[in-house]
Amino acid sequence: MSTEGKKVVGHYIGGQSVMGISGREGGVYNPATNELIRNVALADAAEVDKAVSNAAEAFHDWAEMPSARRVQVLYRYRELLIQNIDEMARLLSSEHGKTVDDAKGSITRGLEVVEFACGIPQLLKGEFSESVASGVDSWSMRQPLGVVAGITPFNFPAMVPMWMFPVAIACGNTFVLKPSERNPSCAAFMANLLTEAGLPDGVLNVVNGDKEAVDSLLSHPSVQAVSFVGSTAVGEYVYQTGCAHGKRVQALCGAKNHMVVMPDADMGQVVDAVMGAAYGSAGERCMAISVVVAVGEDTADRMMEQLVPRIETLKVGAYDQAGVEMGPVITPDARDRIKNYIDRGVKEGADLVVDGRNISIPGYESGCFVGATVFDRVKPEMAIYRDEIFGPVLSVVRAESYEAALKLVNDHEYGNGTAIFTRDGDAARDFGHRAQIGMVGVNVPIPVPLAFHSFGGWKRSLFGDHFMHGPEGVRFYTRMKTLTSRWPSGIKEGAVFNFKAGGEH
């Protein structure tokens, strides 16, 4: 079942694993050691076409199957995922680097979307208006789109695909998943479990690959819609290219999430929250807190006094070492990019309080480690403030007032998540109302909506109109049809040539 031990991860097309035939492969590395674990096939246009064709062939029967029967497969998939969660979490950690507990937590968040999707027949119910005119009824329904594609990032190789395919297939679509080429094994693992759960062949296909596979999906005439999660530069390209080819596209992208700390906040709670939200998963989360805005010098001083010793003693290491709180980042390139940002922060005059550049983990000297880092007195014009670093680097900005803090949140180009820590209900309410951000927390640092709500950002954190999963996910993966019907009733109106107001036909 698992790809553990496999030399090359191929594709999953038409209900079975198939080897790549493009002749191109990429390497999959253990970020803790930087050792090659296996290779991954990189699909060309012909292989993408094969996956899309399989999905297109499977669409009719799958869409015609009653939704209550479709979700039976997801109930069984859920059980299988629970039975196999330890193995999948270990596999995820070995290719991603995050701790096994963290990996398990992320799979559980994905499982919650599967559970939501099991109840989708409820959300596919249409609306009905009786007698919109004499003897005329009107009925709206939601129907699946056809073949839809998902393109996913490295940082959540199980959860992010599960934001997409359970909802898409429960709605009656068939799916082609293009996971990150950095850690392809979870997608293969999940595809196998779905087949074991009874999913008909071709309903979910996986093609591995890079830009070539993505471009082939974006231009393929049979792909009706594309869900993307990844960086802003690529997401904007995917959105524009997909739309130019007439597809419905949602692209969830990069972030720079601010946490505002008010003078009355519970500082113990603040410090715990910052540690988890800034350094969990080595900061490689789109909802990571990468900026803390402390309101007032005294607030900042009190916070730093408690925060700095915690950062200095954070336990960094490999995913399978006991007691490790933070793993490596994904690749040597990512490590070097993050260290370069730290160099820039120093050059630009920020106050480097804890420096993670020179960390070395005994036994893992070649690993992609960056230690937990914090800058104080960061200014909005600095690159470390403006850019998404996507690593364990926290910026602390000192704001003189609540209004100045809110302005920073709202002026930033990204709008994924934000949080305020306070005991003041007025400030919390005002913040929730005025923050120009898609997901807002009050004393909750990572306000990720549960599966039955929808996940998404504003501004340059999202291109397109729909958030993922929850009711927005159902809207994205279906289209509305409205049917107006009259049955012979003995009422004879004769031909009607003019358009009448008030529901008269």
Q: Which of these ranges, 47-55, 79-87, 230-238, 272-280, lies near ligand NAD under the rule CB under 6 A?
A: 230-238
Q: Within positions 369 to 428, which residues make up the interface with ligand NAD, using CB under 6 A?
A: 388, 390, 416
Q: Which stretch binds ligand NAD (CB under 6 A): 50-58, 99-107, 249-257, 363-371?
A: 249-257
Separation between Cα atoms, residue 300 and residue 167, nearest integer Å? 43
User: Which position among 8, 133, 234, 444 is part of the footprint of ligand NAD (CB under 6 A)?
Assistant: 234
Of 198-206, 231-239, 302-310, 363-371: span binding ligand NAD (CB under 6 A): 231-239
Does residue 236 touch ligand NAD according to CB under 6 A?
no
State how far Cα 466 lies from the chain centre.
Answer: 13
Strand partners, 399: 295
Confirm or reject binding of residue 217 to ligand NAD (CB under 6 A).
no
Contact status: 120 vs ligand NAD (CB under 6 A): no
Q: Would you count residue 165 as binding ligand NAD (CB under 6 A)?
A: no
Residue 419 CB, shortest distance to ligand NAD, in Å, is 16
Using CB under 6 A as the binding rule, whether residue 211 contacts ligand NAD is answered as: yes
- The verdict on 257 binding ligand NAD (CB under 6 A) reads no
Q: Which of 34, 231, 436, 443 binds ligand NAD (CB under 6 A)?
A: 231
The one-letter amino acid code at 504 reads: E
When binding is defined by CB under 6 A, the residue of 25, 47, 95, 181 that contacts ligand NAD is 181
Q: Count of alpha carbons within 13 Å of 98, Cβ hemisphere only? A: 26
460 binds ligand NAD (CB under 6 A): no
Query: Is 186 one of the catalytic residues?
Result: no
Residue choice 84, 93, 152, 418 for contact with ligand NAD (CB under 6 A): 152
The answer to whether 319 touches 94, Cβ cutoff 8 Å, is yes
Mark the segment that binds ligand NAD (CB under 6 A) among 52-60, 251-259, 443-451, 471-479: 251-259
Number of residues assigned to the chain: 505
Catalytic, out of 118, 171, 253, 286: 286
- Does residue 29 touch ligand NAD according to CB under 6 A? no
- Rounded to whole angstroms, how far apart are CA atoms 297 and 443? 20
What is the contact mask toward ligand NAD in residues 273 to 302, using x (rule: CB under 6 A)?
A: -------------x----------------
Tokens of 75: 């109930």
Max Cα distance, the chain (Å): 89
**Residue closest to 37 by CA, chosen among 223, 233, 185:** 185
Is there binding between residue 115 and ligand NAD (CB under 6 A)?
A: no
Rule CB under 6 A: is residue 44 a binding residue for ligand NAD?
Answer: no
Among 63, 107, 149, 229, binds ligand NAD (CB under 6 A): 229
Classify 493 as helix, strand or coil.
Answer: coil
Is 47 a binding residue for ligand NAD by CB under 6 A? The answer is: no
Amino acid type, 217: L
How many CA atoms lie within 13 Å of 486's alpha carbon, on the beta-carbon side? 13
Closest residue by beta carbon to ligand NAD: 230
Burial class (CB in 10 A: 0-12, 13-18, 19+), 125: exposed
Q: Are 180 and 153 in contact (CB under 8 A)?
A: yes
Looking at beta carbons only, is 39 or 155 nearer to ligand NAD?
155
Which is closer to ligand NAD, CB of 70 or CB of 460? 460
Closest by CA to 52, choosing from 276, 254, 165, 204, is: 204
User: Is 25 or 376 the residue whose CB approaches ligand NAD more closely?
Assistant: 25
**Nearest distance, CB of residue 460 and ligand NAD, angstroms:** 10
What token pair was written down for 105?
A: 């937590």
Distance CA 221, CA 224 (A): 8
Distance of CA 71 to the CA centre of its chain: 22
Type and span of the H or E element at 458: strand 458-459
Angle between helices 85-96 and 100-118 (to 10 degrees): 120
Residues 6+ apart with CB under 8 A from 77: 114, 166, 193, 194, 197, 199
- Could you say which of 461, 464, 474, 476 contacts ligand NAD (CB under 6 A)? 461
List of residues contacting ligand NAD (CB under 6 A): 151-156, 160, 178, 180-181, 210-211, 214, 229-231, 234, 237, 252-255, 286, 388, 390, 416, 457, 461
Q: Where in the sequence numbering do the catalytic residues fall?
A: 286
